[in-house]
């Protein structure tokens, strides 16, 4: 669940674009409300932007008994990392070429610090990165996967190139990147084929 960082999202509904801080506050509020709707009866809550009165537990609730709304911290400023520490099942950010492995390592450490502040076990949050699959240099993509795994990522989403609909592209990604990287214990690799 992102914090709505794109202007077109607001423009599509003819809404003023809130500041980044306002969007992050609303995300935290939405996470709290969803958890209450999934776990508590007869909730009433009122904030600056939301009023919910006399609700009942939303049914069906999440599959996991103590589920939290999943949060995507994306580029992850510090305030958004705090929200992820409080609410997220999964924390996701873009990897190379957008952000470096060093960026992931630094933000991962900050997320751990926030988990300590809110008395949450940091291992409860899956660390996820989206990475472009570079078919011109599959070895570089495999290196990024290994470095991200060493830095704490356990969930890596590979985005195929824009020309992936060309016959054989998915097979090439599997054969040259995913299959050789399978030796990385504890890392789930996913291939995103919808972009």
Tens digits of pLDDT across the chain (195 residues): 555 556 676 777 777 777 877 777 877 787 777 776 766 666 666 666 677 766 655 555 555 555 555 555 455 578 889 988 988 889 999 988 889 999 999 999 999 999 999 999 999 999 999 998 888 899 999 999 999 999 999 999 998 776 556 668 888 888 999 888 887 766 788 777 665
How remote is the C-alpha of 33 from its chain's centroid? 19
pLDDT at residue 120, rounded to an integer: 95
> For the chain, what are the domain ranges?
1-62, 70-195
Question: Which string of DSSP letters, residue by residue, matches 38-66?
Answer: HH-SSEEEE-SS-EEEEE---SS--SSTT
Question: How high is the pLDDT of residue 47?
Answer: 65
> What is the reported pTM?
0.73
Alpha carbon distance, N-terminus to C-terminus of the chain: 18
How much is the pLDDT for 42? 60
In sequence order, what are the residues at sequence separation of 6 or more whose Cβ sits closer than 8 angstroms to the Cβ of residue 50?
29, 30, 33
Determine the Cα–Cα distance for residues 150 and 88; give it in Å rounded to an integer: 22
- pLDDT at position 152: 93
Phi, psi of 127 (to 5 degrees): -95, 120
Provide the residue count of the chain. Answer: 195
CA dist 12 and 27 (Å) reads: 19
Tell me, what's the pLDDT at 119? 96
């Amino acid at each position: 669940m992102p914090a709505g960082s794109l202007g077109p999202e607001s423009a599509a509904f003819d809404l003023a674009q809130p500041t980044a801080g306002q969007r992050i506050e609303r995300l935290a509020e939405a996470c709290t409300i969803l958890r209450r709707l999934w776990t508590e009866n007869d909730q009433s809550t009122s904030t600056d932007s939301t009023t919910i009165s006399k609700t009942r537990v939303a049914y069906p609730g999440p599959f996991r008994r103590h589920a939290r709304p999943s949060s995507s911290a994306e580029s992850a400023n510090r305030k958004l990392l705090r929200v992820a520490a409080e609410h997220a099942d999964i924390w996701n950010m873009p990897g190379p070429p957008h952000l470096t492995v060093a960026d992931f390592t630094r933000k991962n450490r900050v997320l751990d610090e926030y988990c300590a502040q809110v008395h949450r076990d940091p291992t409860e949050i899956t660390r996820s990165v989206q990475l472009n699959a570079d078919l011109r240099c599959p070895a570089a993509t495999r290196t990024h996967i290994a470095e991200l795994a060493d830095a704490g990522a356990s969930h890596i989403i590979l985005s195929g190139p824009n020309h992936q609909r060309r016959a054989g592209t998915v097979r090439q990604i599997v054969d040259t990147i995913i299959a050789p990287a399978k030796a990385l214990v504890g890392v789930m690799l996913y291939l995103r084929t919808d972009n």
